[in-house]
Amino acid sequence: MNTTHKPLLTEAVLFFSERGIAKQMLYAEFEALLDGMVATPEFADETIEAAFIQINTRLYVRAAVFFTVDFDLDGHISPLWNMPLRSMAEKAGRGPDMGGGPIRLACLGFCVDNKFKPNLWKPAQREGKSDLLMIKEAVTRNTLGILGDDREAFAIIQPEHLQMAAEDAWYGGGNVISPQARVGGQPSEQEQHKAAQATAVQEAKVAAADEQQAVYKQQVSDLKRQLDELRQLREVELAAERQRHQDHLAIVQGELHDIKNELALQQKINITLKRDLSKLQTRSASDAD
C-alpha cells in the first residue's frame, strides 16, 4: 500500500512596522505571548499588523493569514484577542505564487469567514517594497533557523549506491556489504566518501533538531520560572498593600473616635454653659424686682 506523506510545515508569525518586518518568531513563541508568559514592550499600547505563515521544508511559503493584534500598556496581547489562525490558513482561498506555487491566502477583502474581517489587513507596499516580497526574503534568509530540505543529501543517496546488510547481520552484528562486494568488487573511495558525507549530513540535521528542541524547552522553563517569580512578587505587593490599607483604616477610625469624644465633651460643656446662663438671667431678674 502506498502512503503519501504530507510535507512538514513550520509555522511562524511576522510583525510589521511602517518600514517593514520588525519582529519574527516561531508560532510556539507567539503562543507564549498569547498565554501572557512574556511581553513585547516595543509594541506596548499599539495595534500591530502581523502575518501568520506556514513554511515547507524547502523554505517556501505555503499559507499566509494577515491579521492585526492589540497590545496593552505593558506589551501583553489583549486577552480579548482570539483568532483561529491555523484553521483560517487551512480554509483560505488560492493566493499568489511566492516561489513554491500558489499559497493559501486570508486577508482583508479575501477571507472566507466575514466575522474575522475587522481583525484582518491587506498586504500592500512599505518603503517601496511589497509586503509579500519582504516575507519571501525573510523566509529565504531563514533567521528563524528552520531545518530545510537537503537536496544534496538526496542526490548522494541514490538507489544504486545503497548498501545492503548481509543476511546474517540483519539482526545485529556482521558487516555491511555493497552490491559491488556481492559480485566480487569493492565500493569505490568516492562512493564511500559520498555515503559518509550523507551520514554526516543526516547526523548534523538530527543534532540541530535536538539542539533546537533543547533551546525551546529551556526557553519554556525560563518563561515559567519568570511567571512564577512575577506571581510571587505580585502576591507580596498585594499583601503589603492590604496591610497599608488596614493600618490607614485603623488610624482613620482612631481619629474618628477622638473626634466623637471631643464632640460629646463639647456638647456637655455647652449644656452646662446654657444652664449657668439661665441661672444668671433668673437671678438678675430677681435682683431687679
**pLDDT at res. 190:** 66
Calpha distance 69→79 (Å, rounded): 11
pLDDT band, residue 165 (cuts 50/70/90):
very low
Q: What angle do CA 144, 140, 67 make, to 5 degrees?
A: 70
Average predicted confidence (pLDDT) for the chain: 81
**What count of Cα atoms within 13 Å lies in the side-chain half-sphere of residue 54?**
19
Q: What's the pLDDT at 249? A: 85
Q: How confident is the model at residue 210 (pLDDT cuts 50, 70, 90)?
A: confident
User: How confident is residue 289, by pLDDT bands cut at 50, 70 and 90?
Assistant: low
Task: List C-alpha distances in Å: 30 to 25, 69, 84, 131, 180.
Answer: 7, 11, 13, 20, 53
Q: What is the pLDDT of residues 25-54, one digit of tens each?
A: 999 999 999 998 999 999 999 999 999 999
Helix (H, G, I), strand (E, B) or coil at 35: coil
Average pLDDT over residues 67-91: 93
User: Would you say 23 and 40 are in contact if contact means Cβ atoms under 8 Å apart?
Assistant: yes
Comparison of pLDDT for 145 and 180, the residue scoring more: 145
Question: For position 191, what pLDDT does the model report?
Answer: 66
Q: 103-122 in b/e burial notation, b at 16+ Cβ within 10 A?
A: bbbbbbebbeeeebeebbbe
pLDDT at residue 244, rounded to an integer: 87
Using the predicted structure, report yes or no on whether residue 183 has a pLDDT greater than 50.
Answer: no
Cell of 149: 530540505
pLDDT-derived band at 152 (thresholds 50, 70, 90) equals very low
Pairing outcome for strands 47-56 and 61-70? antiparallel
Task: Report d(CA 54, CA 63) in Å as an integer.
Answer: 5
The set of residues, in sequence order, having a beta carbon less than 8 Å from that of 208 and lying 6+ positions away, is 147
Phi, psi of 203 (to 5 degrees): -65, -35
Which candidate, 137, 118, 119, places its Cα nearest to that of 127?
137
Residue that wins the pLDDT comparison between 162 and 214: 214
Q: How confident is the model at residue 186 (pLDDT cuts 50, 70, 90)?
A: low
